Amino acid sequence: MSQRPTIFTVTAFRDEEADVWVGSCDAVPMTAEAESLDLLLVRLSEMASDLLPDNHPGLDPSSVFLQLSVLQDIGSHAAAA
């Protein structure tokens, strides 16, 4: 019998100074940086696979999904337009 899906929300934002995307999820817990959102999601997925057994024992990895929530300062886009 398969488990119901478990969704962990990852909050991501652009660090302009470091020129990377930063994503974190307190529930797993994990934080990573990457040059693109796609690469960030890959890195966080790999980290989650490693961390879930210790932080959420018994959770079937095939039932886990990461939901990406991107924070964007609307002022920076308004100034660029």
CATH number, domain containing residue 12? 3.30.2390.10
Split into its structural domains, the chain has a count of: 1
pLDDT at 80 over 70: no
Token pair, residue 64, equals: 């886990």
pTM, to two decimals? 0.83
Distance CA 40, CA 47 (A): 11
Residue 3 pLDDT more than 70?
yes
Query: Which pLDDT band, with edges at 50, 70 and 90, does 13 fall under?
Result: very high
Mean pLDDT value of segment 48-76? 92
- HSE, CB side, 13 Å, CA atoms: give it for residue 48: 26
Residue 30: CB atoms within 10 Å: 21
Position 62 in a domain: yes
For the chain, how big is the Rg over CA atoms in Å? Answer: 15
Measure the N-to-C terminal CA separation of the chain; round to a whole number of Å. 52
Asked whether residue 42 is assigned to any structural domain, the reply reads: yes
Does some domain include residue 80?
Answer: no
pLDDT value at 1 more than 50: no
